[in-house]
Amino acid sequence: GIQVEQSPPDLILQEGANSTLRCNFSDSVNNLQWFHQNPWGQLINLFYIPSGTKQNGRLSATTVATERYSLLYISSSQTTDSGVYFCAVAAGNNRKLIWGLGTSLAVNP
């Protein structure tokens, strides 16, 4: 089955710093999604990005499907960016999401 790997597993930033999170996937997919799980456990869909680049405020994401990776950029990080960032790909007829293990981000004031 499809494997999804994320790096780094943990990241600590000072407020205002920039960061790049990476997601590698094992098979050709066209449906990668990025999620943020806040410290209270809520999962928020950040991007549906099968290919190309999208931006939403201080966040942007790029997927290069032919090379099987996606990047999530966080610029000018804020303490509210803390939490776990997951990438996931949909597979099968039921479109179940296959998840990476996440990158745990802590932004210190």
Partner 1 sequence: NAGVTQTPKFRILKIGQSMTLQCTQDMNHNYMYWYRQDPGMGLKLIYYSVGAGITDKGEVPNGYNVSRSTTEDFPLRLELAAPSQTSVYFCASREGGRETQYFGPGTRLLVL
Tokens standing for residue 14: 């000072």
Q: Minimum CB separation from partner 1 for residue 93, in Å?
A: 9
Contacts of 59 (CB under 8 A, 6+ apart): 46, 47, 72, 73, 74, 75
To partner 1, the closest distance from the beta carbon of 40 in angstroms equals 8
By C-beta, is 15 or 105 nearer to partner 1?
A: 105
Q: What is the DSSP string of 94-108?
A: TTEEEE---EEEEEE
Nearest distance from residue 76's CB to partner 1, in Å? 26
Judged by the rule CB under 8 A, the positions of this chain that interact with partner 1 are: 4, 31, 33, 35, 41-45, 48, 50, 86, 88, 90, 94-102
